[in-house]
A and B are shown apart, each in its own frame.
Chain A
């Protein structure tokens, strides 16, 4: 169960090797989390991630999960929920794609969309149903600031995140009052190991900073978490910049 600060005892990560997710898991294991499920495509990296969290004292298990195989989600995640309550699901899988390449190869673009959007719709709904049945839990969805407004440089990725973001918001409303809470996290560009000085833009952040913001969001039962927090204001301005001007803005984010 979560405690008064929203800290989970059990965590299910969808996208078990995600840097942001692992930074979050490390942080939560240092507090109350004792059980961690890492769902992802089998790989040495996934096993390494499990080993790393085990070394911190958590009971870690991995489970095969492919976002692109939506039909398998119910079985894959059903197995996890059958083992006991999950206090928090962190939906962290996602691919950035290669905009220039994907524009030329639509099937690659579709894979980005299928991973980030349709895959998340399936996994999100399966998780939501299981959480609702247990009457409690947090679903934390890693969206992106790129979903706020489509930009020339990454609109394939951006549009998939826009879809995911809208889906997660709607799901949060649908689950209101069911004991299940949905938090949408919108980080700016995340780079590991960027000290404040070495940042290319003021909006850049580290996985650890996202993790800290998520912990705070859990405590506040926040619906939206921006990382860094100032992006909330910046984006509300950028949203209203006229198209012609927006096109000419340098790719800061």
Chain B
């Protein structure tokens, strides 16, 4: 185990840094020792730090960097299951599994998240309507709890449901057994279309989403008036082998993972790059560049799921002040709330790159799991935008009134007293934690801020 260093830690949004002892266990024994010795300010597991807010930081305490535990132990290539350490990234899993004809069951907007982080936040992808969230595909995991014991946790138990979406607060996940998604090729067959406004977009999503496994809409939140909510829809499925043209290199190597990378922005950029004007231009160009309608286009997995992964450290363009994410879900039948919120954001002229709109299907049992059937919108805004804090508080009110909720992995500013309304099983979660971890060994800045 490397000697712990006290370092400032933030999430992907780079706001609210706090200092913690960073410990990187290289074995389960080291992880157990780290938990036993984490001291009065406790500890929290951290994966690749892709949660935007303060979920994987712990001021004055220990942060367990789990990326040192990154072995893939067993793959059942017939059955499509894998047993791996929680520190393995979805990128690594994809690299290893794709050539065997398997894909991760849920792919978030970046491959740079760990399996532990995927369980901790019970992440969702563009296939939520069809496949649910990450935990639906988790068969079991091993959890290191506050007493230093390691438990095998299986589906249908309270500990399973508290841990999936539990933001690392029930313990440290050491290994996960996961069911995979079979694929014939590493390409996606993608239909792209433009929607002229929000109603058009919602109509298209409602009418034809059932035809696709994966579906996402990118909304230009700077467009106003008749163009309010204009969007580009990209929907598709894994391409079958037949769909690849005969005799090509791709056809001969249908399962190769292809990624491309651009250089990262420099660590220090001038402030105020992202203004209404610059982002507005970007969005305009992006919208115009998108085809009005195109079907069956073959895209790489990386291009379809993870366009942002092409630019490492893209969060730097938000400057020193960092970025504030906002993601909420409101139920079916609450389209009026969604419309009103999109309208308010557009009216407020938040310099936001195209925001992501998705539809969720049935939720999963995780007590603090985010998805519920309905509409979810995710956007990023520069933290320095004047009045942003109050504005987002107002949106929270709308969301809460409509029975919706915000996503904890993308929160860095929610008012704590709204949480219980958004997550009705919060009390059970607190009770289980009080029993399982009476001394409060597992704690994070998020847990302190929201009294989780």
**Nearest-CB distance from B345 to chain A (Å)?**
17
Measured between beta carbons, the chain A residues less than 8 angstroms from B59 are 1, 85, 134-136, 179
User: In this assembly, does B108 line the interface, its C-beta being within 8 Å of a C-beta of chain A?
Assistant: no
Which residues of chain A are near B383, meaning CB under 8 Å? 4-5, 219
Contacts of A67-95 to chain B: CB distance below 8 A = 85
Does A5 contact B413, Cβ atoms closer than 8 Å? yes
Chain A stretch 167-217: residues in CB contact (< 8 A) with chain B: 177-180
Interchain CA distance A35-B384 in the complex, whole Å: 25
CB distance from A177 to the nearest CB of B (A): 6
B interface residue count range (under 10 / 10 to 19 / 20 to 34 / 35 or more): 20 to 34
Whether the pair B6, A6 counts as a contact (CB closer than 8 A) is: no
Task: Answer whether residue A9 sits at the interface, using C-beta atoms and an 8 A cutoff.
Answer: yes
B19 and A178 contact, CB distance less than 8 A: yes
A residues near B389, Cβ cutoff 8 Å? 3, 5, 7, 31
Question: Least Cβ distance of A179 to chain B in Å?
Answer: 3
B151 within 8 A of A: no
| Interface contact B384-A219, CB-CB below 8 Å | yes
Q: Which residue of B lies closest to A32 (CB)?
A: B415
Chain B 1-59 interface residues, beta-carbon cutoff 8 Å to A: 6-8, 13, 15-20, 41, 53-54, 58-59
Q: Does B280 contact A (CB under 8 A)?
A: no
Most buried by B among A9, A85, A132, A179: A179
In A4-28, which residues have CB < 8 Å from any B CB? 4-7, 9
Instruction: Give CA–CA (A31, B415) in the complex, Å.
Output: 9
8 A Cβ contacts from B101-135 to A: none
As a 0/1 sequence over residues 392 to 420 of chain B, the CB contacts with chain A under 8 angstroms (1 = contact) are 00000000000000000000110110000
Bound-state CA distance A158–B57 (Å) is 41
Please provide the chain A residues from 209 to 232 with a CB less than 8 Å away from any CB of chain B in the complex. Answer: 219-221
Determine if B321 is an interface residue (Cβ-Cβ < 8 Å).
Answer: yes
**Residue A151 at the chain B interface, CB threshold 8 Å:** no
A2 to B54, CA, bound (A): 10
Docked-complex contact A4 and B13, CB < 8 angstroms: yes
Q: Are B445 and A4 in contact (CB under 8 A)?
A: no
CA distance A32 to B414 in the complex (A): 10
Complex interface: chain B residues within 8 A of A132 (CB): 19
Establish whether residues A136 and B449, one from each chain, have CB atoms under 8 Å apart when the complex forms: no
Bound-complex Cα distance A177 to B17 (A): 9
B244 at the A interface (CB under 8 A): no
B198-218 interface with A by 8 A CB criterion: none
Asked if B60 contacts A136 (CB within 8 A), the reply is: yes
Interface of A is mostly: loop
Q: Whole-angstrom distance from the CB of A176 to the nearest CB of chain B? A: 9
Q: Which residue of A lies closest to B446 (CB)?
A: A1
Q: Assess whether A238 is interfacial by the CB under 8 Å rule.
A: no
How many A residues are at the interface, by size bracket? 20 to 34
A57 to chain B, nearest CB (A): 11
Given A4-B13, A179-B18, A220-B321, check contact A135 B61 (CB 8 Å): yes
Known contacts A9-B449, A31-B389, A135-B61: A4-B41 contact under CB 8 Å: no
Min CB gap A168→B, angstroms:
19
| A133 lies within 8 A of chain B by Cβ | yes
Cα distance A177–B390 when bound, in Å?
A: 29
- Known A-B contacts A31-B389, A179-B60, A220-B384; the reply to A4 vs B324 at CB < 8 A is yes
- Nearest chain A CB to B270's CB is how many angstroms away? 15
Residues of A within 8 A of B416 (CB): 9
Complex-state Cα separation, A32 to B448, whole angstroms: 13
Interface: B388 (CB within 8 A): yes
Q: A135–B322 contact, CB under 8 A? A: no
Separation of A220 and B319 alpha carbons in the complex (Å): 11
A134 to B61, CA, bound (A): 8
Is B448 within 8 A of A4, CB to CB?
A: no
Closest 10 CB pairs of A and B: A135-B60, A179-B19, A135-B59, A4-B412, A4-B15, A136-B59, A136-B18, A1-B449, A3-B413, A179-B18
List 23 A-B residue pairs with CB atoms under 8 Å apart, sorted by A's residue number.
A1-B16, A1-B59, A1-B448, A1-B449, A3-B15, A3-B413, A4-B322, A5-B383, A5-B388, A7-B389, A132-B19, A133-B60, A135-B19, A135-B41, A135-B61, A136-B60, A136-B445, A177-B7, A177-B19, A178-B19, A179-B60, A219-B383, A221-B320
Known: A4-B324, A178-B6; 9 extra A-B contacts, CB below 8 A, are A3-B16, A7-B389, A32-B415, A85-B448, A134-B41, A135-B6, A136-B16, A178-B8, A220-B384
A-binding residues in B (CB < 8 A): 6-8, 13, 15-20, 41, 53-54, 58-61, 320-322, 324, 383-384, 388-390, 412-413, 415-416, 445, 448-449
A: residues with CB less than 8 A from B are 1-7, 9, 31-32, 85, 132-136, 177-180, 219-221
